[in-house]
Amino acid sequence: MQNFATTDDIIKLWRPLTNEEITRATALLPVISDTLRVEADKAGVDLDQKSNDNMAYANVLKSVTVDVLARTLMTPTDKEPMTQESQSALGYSWSGTFLSPGGGLFIKKDELKRLGLKRQKIGGRHLYGEDTWHPSYFDYQNDYWL
């Protein structure tokens, strides 16, 4: 299977990379692409087929892949990345929030929404029998969920 983005795409869409970052990006691209495929399989979507059929979708998929890779490359490997930190003085207090506590790869819900993999569901159940005025309102074949 092919990666959803290349190192050239990263350079064009994000910024020039150092030699070390190119090495990391080359190793991370298949991992990110396969992770997105697994998330899409959970939603019943074939990303490869969908990106082949729709060029706009392929570009969004490339953008999401570059965003995930950029966030991973910006995460320092020599120390824990802090998104928020607070310190006090005399009574000494310290608190902080880590970007990725495990330090690994993560995909945001917003990125999955951009790919159409996270959607709200709507549905209902008949409490008092079948509705005779609107009998086709619910989909009975799918356990009342649309």
Q: Provide the number of structural domains found in the chain.
A: 1
Domain membership of residue 143 (yes or no) is: no
pTM: 0.71
**132 has pLDDT over 80:** no
Q: How far is CA 9 from CA 27, 65, 91, 102, in A?
A: 15, 10, 50, 27
Residue 146 domain flag: no
pLDDT 10s digits, 32-67: 999 999 999 999 999 999 999 999 999 999 999 999
Instruction: Write out the two tokens for 99.
Output: 């970007």
Does 140 reside within a domain? no
pLDDT by residue (tens digit) across 69-90?
Answer: 998 888 766 666 677 888 888 8
Cα 4 vs. chain centroid, distance in angstroms?
13
Q: What local confidence, expressed as pLDDT, does residue 67 receive?
A: 96
The tokens of 38 are what?
């697994």
Within-domain flag for 11: yes
Residue 77 is part of which domain span?
7-120
The C-alpha atoms of residue 95 and residue 118 are separated, in whole angstroms, by: 32
* Residue 104 covered by a domain: yes
pLDDT at residue 85, rounded to an integer: 83
Q: Flag whether pLDDT at 13 surpasses 90.
A: yes
Domain presence at residue 71: yes
Element counts in the chain: helices (H) and strands (E): 5, 2
pLDDT band at 11; cut points 50, 70, 90: very high
Q: What is the mean pLDDT of residues 83-106?
A: 79
